[in-house]
Amino acid sequence: DTEVTQTPKHLVMGMTNKKSLKCEQHMGHRAMYWYKQKAKKPPELMFVYSYEKLSINESVPSRFSPECPNSSLLNLHLHALQPEDSALYLCASSPEGSTKNIQYFGAGTRLSVL
């Protein structure tokens, strides 16, 4: 099983709303990632959690707030977003050891900010 599950699949929110994206994996992976992908562009790394601790923050605005409640779950809390934040948000996870660079992606959440 190499499944990373993201919910919701689609989300429409206003600029004053607060919402959360969820990601779950049960592969025992200890690194989890959030990416943002705009149309026709490659994914851009936002955050990395390693062993439930934030290890990389790619200078992401504070209106995006990640959270890793446990080794299987990763959340992305959204508040006061801008229309330019509309994108496909991807979650990924990767194992430890010799295959640690291999990232497995979820299907993404398509976010529209009105």
Partner 1 sequence: TQLLEQSPQFLSIQEGENLTVYCNSSSVFSSLQWYRQEPGEGPVLLVTVVTGGEVKKLKRLTFQFGDARKDSSLHITAAQPGDTGLYLCAGAPRGFGNEKLTFGTGTRLTIIP
Q: Which is nearer to partner 1, 14 or 51 (CB)?
A: 51
Please select the residue that binds partner 1; options are 27, 73, 80, 107, rule is CB under 8 A: 107
Structure tokens, 34: 């959030």
Contact track, partner 1, 81-100, x by CB under 8 A? -------x-x-x-x-x--xx
DSSP state of 100: T
CA atoms of 97 and 100, how far apart (whole Å): 5
Q: Is 66 in the site for partner 1 (CB under 8 A)?
A: no
Q: Cβ atoms within 10 A of the Cβ of 98, count?
A: 7
The separation between CA 80 and the C-alpha centre of its own chain, rounded to angstroms, equals 17
Cβ proximity to partner 1: between 16 and 59 the closer is: 59
Task: Round to the nearest angstrom and report the end-to-end CA distance of the chain.
Answer: 36
Interface residues toward partner 1, by CB under 8 A:
2, 4, 6, 31, 33, 40-43, 45, 48, 50, 55-56, 88, 90, 92, 94, 96, 99-108, 110
